[in-house]
């Protein structure tokens, strides 16, 4: 057997290379799907945590001022020094939007609603996450 024919037989066939590429693609797709779902869960968890923090500060505000801020004051009231500043800044939701505040709330008629407009950035849609039970 000459060296030329041995060199041809020692390489990979096109079918073998395509199988390896398909397996790598399949593994990459599974990994992307798994990570993508975790990112959505992390964003939801972050929203719920931010809302809990805002609710805690609003309780302190209400204790100090006798009532929760009205719609005009909104969450900005937590930044004012009346009688003291409760937060240095109001966080943005994971989508880069401000949290919405309604007093009285649509979901909490006796209190207020704090919510993220969600991924679609439109209030009143199914993906809103707020301080109410779904």
Average pLDDT score over the chain: 90
In contact, 92 and 98? CB cutoff 8 Å: yes
Residue 84 token pair: 């003291």
Q: How high is the pLDDT of residue 13?
A: 86
Q: How high is the pLDDT of residue 58?
A: 96
What does pTM read for this prediction? Answer: 0.76
Helix intervals (H) in 66-95: none
pLDDT at 1 over 70: no
pLDDT tens digit string along 65-102?
999 999 999 999 999 988 889 999 999 999 999 999 99
Residue ranges covered by each domain of the chain? 13-130
Render the chain in DSSP notation, one character per residue: --HHHHHHHHS--HHHHHHHHHHHHHHHHHHHHHHHHHHHHHHHHHHHHHHHHHHHHHHHHHHHHSS---TTTGGGGGGS-SSS---S-PPBPTTS-BPEEESS-SS-TTS-EEEE-TTTT-TTSTT-EESS--
Q: Please state the separation of Cα 38 from the chain's center in Å.
A: 10
Q: How high is the pLDDT of residue 113?
A: 98
Around Cβ 94, how many Cβ atoms within 10 Å?
A: 18
pLDDT at 7 over 70: no
Q: How high is the pLDDT of residue 33?
A: 80
Q: Please state the separation of Cα 111 from the chain's center in Å.
A: 24
Q: Which fold has domain 13-130?
A: Glycoprotein, Type 4 Pilin (3.30.700)
pLDDT tens digit string along 19-75?
999 999 999 988 888 777 788 899 999 999 999 999 999 999 999 999 999 999 999
């Amino acid at each position: 057997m000459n060296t030329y024919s041995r060199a041809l037989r020692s390489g990979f066939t096109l079918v073998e290379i395509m199988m390896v590429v398909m397996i790598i693609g399949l593994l990459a797709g599974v990994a992307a799907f798994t990570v993508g779902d975790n990112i959505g869960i992390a964003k939801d968890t972050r929203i719920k945590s931010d809302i809990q923090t805002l609710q805690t500060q609003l309780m302190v505000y209400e204790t100090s001022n006798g009532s929760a801020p009205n719609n005009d004051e909104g969450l900005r009231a937590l930044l004012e020094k009346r009688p003291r500043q409760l937060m240095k800044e109001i966080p943005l939701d994971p989508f880069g939007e401000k949290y919405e505040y309604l007093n009285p709330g649509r979901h909490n008629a006796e209190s207020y609603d704090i919510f993220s407009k969600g991924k679609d950035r439109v209030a009143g849609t199914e993906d809103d996450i707020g301080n109410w039970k779904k």
